Structure 1
Amino acid sequence: MTDWARLFVSYCQYDVFTVPGASGVGIYVLGDDLVHVGGPHQFTGFCGIHTGWIEARVRVLPAPPTVIDTGWDVISEATLWSPSGRLSVVGLMGGGAEALTDVAVPRGLIRVRVHARDRLHETVRTDGDPPERHELHVWAVSEETPWRTVLADPGGRAWEQKPAKAAEQAMLSLVPRPSNRPAVLRPLPPDPYEDDAGLARVAVVRHRPAPVEVPVGVLPVGDLEVRLERVDGETLTWSWTTADAPIFPEPLTALPDDEPSTVRLTSGPDGVTLRHEGVRGRHAVALGLIWDHLLDGAGSYPWLETLRGQAAEATAQAEKTRRLKAAHDAERWGGPPPPERLRRLPSQAQSLARMDRPLLDRIDALPVARRREAACWAARRAMRVAGLEQIGWIADALAAAEAARPLPRSFTEQGGAAAFRRLLADPEVPHSTVTLRREPTRLGAPHVTEMLQQAAAFPALLALANDDPLVAAIDAVHHAALAHGDDRDRFLADAHTALR
């Protein structure tokens, strides 16, 4: 048992949780004047004081209590899932106490009973009044049962219960959409508070004083569905599966639970008891809230409208993304994107497409043998326009390629770096400049600069070293076009004629 600790609360509230930051059903959905259910990992406790200090402590019990403690004004209890075996009590605005943080509790399902006394608002509290105190008793359980008021405050407020809203949020928590975290980022490390390795499956238990109708058949849950199939008069199986007609553009395929579970109905003089056995502990509280609605909700599925709304938004966003991508691809490729094999080539295909998309398609359509011829034709045109066709060692390399002989090692190793250095150092190589035009993009007008014409042309010859004739042809034509500068359009027209 922890010692009494001072806890600063705001708006008459404090949080009790087992997983920090876990989402839940929200406040003012289910509960009484002391406790409001928040979900599998959290509930809200209510104080008399609006803003100020209370005293609180936690007692961990070895077994469920057999008697109700006296000396308290109000008592309520609820079930939580504590995968890490830790529980914290924190003021609504984050005020905490070391003694109430990460208190060791049993791992798995726990029942938490909250006792409170002297809940006075500060407007009526006097210096002679005892401090407001809240004591939490915690013990392990293997069955999830509904929250309940153990001892009611005679002057407490009667809160409206919203089981349909709770069921909606509970079902949504079981079928979360995949994270939008970019794939290029490292996956987030697992949350140690959510580690439920080695914990046994549990049961969800609900009781009704009168006969109930269980919805046998299919429970629609967006991209997924639950199949409730009858085994005999008192037994059904609950199993998750993918829906035949998913509603999201990228359907959810991961099931909340790959194993079927068993639903048993037993009748007695005091009513009907439902036991949903063999469920994952982390799902027990949510399934309990869902069963509360299914048993009383006359066949309605409150989560469907929300899922359909999410699916409509996702579909609209997917269509917007598709249109933007299509426009971007059209800009990058000068029209509809080419086949995937062409897009993946380690080549200048995209740059050539922006110059002359039909020419890229023409090269792609050439037979393999013609592609190598096209590469040699473009390389010779590049050497000619740059005044390199008659430079001995360059002419020899070009002739070797045209005769289907290997290029010298200086052209093939390290991307032809040695040959390029020789080009720049050879005193016989002419030096002229050529206008280099960059195609316009959405970001602005085309960029114009000048570069050494021989440096622009030489990569067309180096392209002949590529073992893939298609890459060689694309790259040679692209660099030859650059080497022609302002006369590029005439070269491209000649290429269409030569490569028929």
Structure 2
Amino acid sequence: MKLFVSYCQYEVTAVPGAPGLEIYTLGDDLLHLNGPSRLTGFCGTHTGWIDARARVHSEPPARAEVGWDAISEATLWCPSGRLSVVGLMGGLTETLTDIAVPRGLIRVRLHARNRLREGLRTDHDPPEQHEIHVWAVADETPWRTLVADPQAREWEQKPAKAAEWAMLSLVRRRSGRPALLAALPPDPYEDSTGLARVAVVRHRAGPVELPVGVLPVGDLDIRLERIDDTTLTWSWATAADPIFPKPLTTLPDEEPSTVRLTSGPDGFTLRHEGVLGRHASAVGLIWDHLLDAPGPLPWSEPLRAQAAKAAARAERSRRLADERDAAQWGGRPPSDRMRKLPGKARSLALVDRAVLDALETLPGARCREVACWAARRAMRVAGLEGIGWIAEILTAAEAGQPLPESLGVAGFNRLLSDPDVPHTTVPMHLPGHGVSEILQQAAAFPALTALANDDPLGAAIDAAYNAALAHGDDRDRFLADLFGRVGLR
């Protein structure tokens, strides 16, 4: 079967679109790792068709097949039991898409031959051929070269870079997707329901020393605690001193796992048991670094850089929020109490921030007095103080009696339909909107309905604001009276 490749590459993937390790970090001339569920295969053909086929085995092949120029293999995490081989730029072949393979860890072995570069290929050369062999495995083990192409180039290996990516992938922070948007549906390719935990295995010919203690990982720690001379527990915990403005609190894995080190005639074997399958590749790359390059942790500096950027963003957001609050609240941000208060607090701040601040300092009883005083002044200036039913409501409020439940919409409708109610207009000054004319009685009446507010501060603020509105061009004089006569100093 034919597969269209681009830039001398194709991908073998079990979770399409998943973020992964940069190419050219780990691998050889045939295979490069791209993360837990993806690898890249290399061709001689830059852009065009190659022969490719996949074979799924029920058990590991006894030995590498002969007749191939290059053979390399790696372990992938395949939770869905589907594997696809696609060209780098999306070249698809139906028989190589969603191939049924075992769920869980799989070993993928690439075979290649006749990988001639396009400038060297002639019409008489055999076609380039690739085979992808797949079988189930219980352990995550490193990639390896079984047959090296004699014409292959040497690739620089970057295990520290791989370990950095691996750790950052385990402590990835939540996306910035707005909470108002519906949650994205789960990716069926990532469904690991029913799959058991796995083991990560690493072998070294020479002596190795297991790290013991705490590995700092930004806002989290990995705690490696010794059980005996050859056994550790690996567990995640939140750090005592997190480095991000909004610390990460969700652990990559809530359960501890076990690390065992055994020795034999051919060297030392580390076996990390009880690892989540989706973490196995990353944990393996981390162990490669810990076993071979003890010392500075390659993920520490990138995490500090991320934290510094996050702190700068948080400070910028805080500063912009303060500036926005200052513009919306008459010169400076409000208190938390005032910010949460419903009603006209922000509107009064834009009219006279000093009045708002003074009201906030008053005890509840004084707030009630101010609310009643402001409501009476509003009724007076609008010619409503002598309207019988309004006068009764105002007197009842001043006496501390409950107000009628119909004071809201029904009361406003009665106001507009009562033939005894005058109809006058006053100018309304709105910051940023210029001046317009409003019905004075409609502006004043909410000062009366504000008295029904159970919160004395809310009642005082709403009554004061609506009374100021009802005074039109005399608003500032009213506010001065509020300061002077009521004692807000």
- 1:301 aligned to which of 289, 292, 297: 297
- 1:354 aligned to which of 334, 350, 356: 350
- 1:234 aligned to which of 230, 233, 236: 230
Give distance in 1, aligned partners of 2:220 and 2:57. 40
- 1:437 aligned to which of 423, 429, 433: 429
Residue 335 of structure 1: CA displacement? 4.5
Report the equivalent of 2:79: 83
Q: Do structure 1's residue 471 and structure 2's residue 458 form an aligned pair?
A: yes
- 1:424 aligned to which of 405, 409, 416: 416
Residue 180 of structure 1: CA displacement? 1.2
AA matched with 1:100: L
SS at match of 1:312: helix
SS at match of 2:174: coil
1:96-111 matches, within 5 Å, as: 96-111=92-107
Residue 50 of structure 1: CA displacement? 0.2
Give distance in 1, aligned partners of 2:118 and 2:333. 70
Q: Which runs of 5+ in 2 are unaligned?
A: none
CA deviations over 1:198-245 (Å, ceiling 9, x no partner) = 111111111111112222222121111112222211111111111121
Report the equivalent of 1:248: 244
> TM-score with structure 2 length normalisation?
0.96
For the 8 Å contact 1:362–1:499, the answer to whether it is kept is no
Report the equivalent of 1:442: none
1:332-481 matches, within 5 Å, as: 332-411=328-407, 416-439=408-431, 445-481=432-468
Q: CA RMSD in A?
A: 1.6
CA deviations over 1:268-318 (Å, ceiling 9, x no partner) = 221111111111111111111111111111322111111111111011111
- 1:291 aligned to which of 287, 292, 308: 287
- Structure 1 residues 427-436 or 84-93, which shifts more? 427-436
Give distance in 2, aligned partners of 1:314 and 1:41. 29
For the 8 Å contact 1:263–1:274, the answer to whether it is kept is yes
Q: Do structure 1's residue 486 and structure 2's residue 473 form an aligned pair?
A: yes
Give the paired residue count: 487
> TM-score with structure 1 length normalisation?
0.94
Residue 418 of structure 1: CA displacement? 2.0
For the 8 Å contact 2:429–2:436, the answer to whether it is kept is yes
1:303-318 matches, within 5 Å, as: 303-318=299-314
Residue 446 of structure 1: CA displacement? 4.8
Q: Which runs of 5+ in 1 are unaligned?
A: 440-444
SS at match of 2:463: helix
For the 8 Å contact 1:18–1:41, the answer to whether it is kept is yes
Q: Do structure 1's residue 277 and structure 2's residue 273 form an aligned pair?
A: yes
SS at match of 2:51: strand
Give distance in 1, aligned partners of 2:172 and 2:405. 58
Residue 474 of structure 1: CA displacement? 1.3
For the 8 Å contact 1:363–1:499, the answer to whether it is kept is no
CA deviations over 1:424-453 (Å, ceiling 9, x no partner) = 2233322222111122xxxxx453222111
Change (3 A) 1:346 1:133: same
AA matched with 1:176: R
SS at match of 1:437: strand
Change (3 A) 1:159 1:337: same
CA deviations over 1:328-366 (Å, ceiling 9, x no partner) = 222222344444333222221111122222222322332
AA matched with 2:90: G
Residue 70 of structure 1: CA displacement? 2.1
Give distance in 2, aligned partners of 1:209 and 1:308. 35
1:195-206 matches, within 5 Å, as: 195-206=191-202
Give distance in 1, aligned partners of 2:216 and 2:403. 66
CA deviations over 1:164-195 (Å, ceiling 9, x no partner) = 11111111101101221112222222221111
Residue 409 of structure 1: CA displacement? 4.4
Identity fraction in percent: 70
Residue 140 of structure 1: CA displacement? 0.7
AA matched with 1:496: F
- 2:180 aligned to which of 180, 184, 197: 184
For the 8 Å contact 1:215–1:299, the answer to whether it is kept is no
SS at match of 1:39: coil
Q: Do structure 1's residue 66 and structure 2's residue 66 form an aligned pair?
A: no
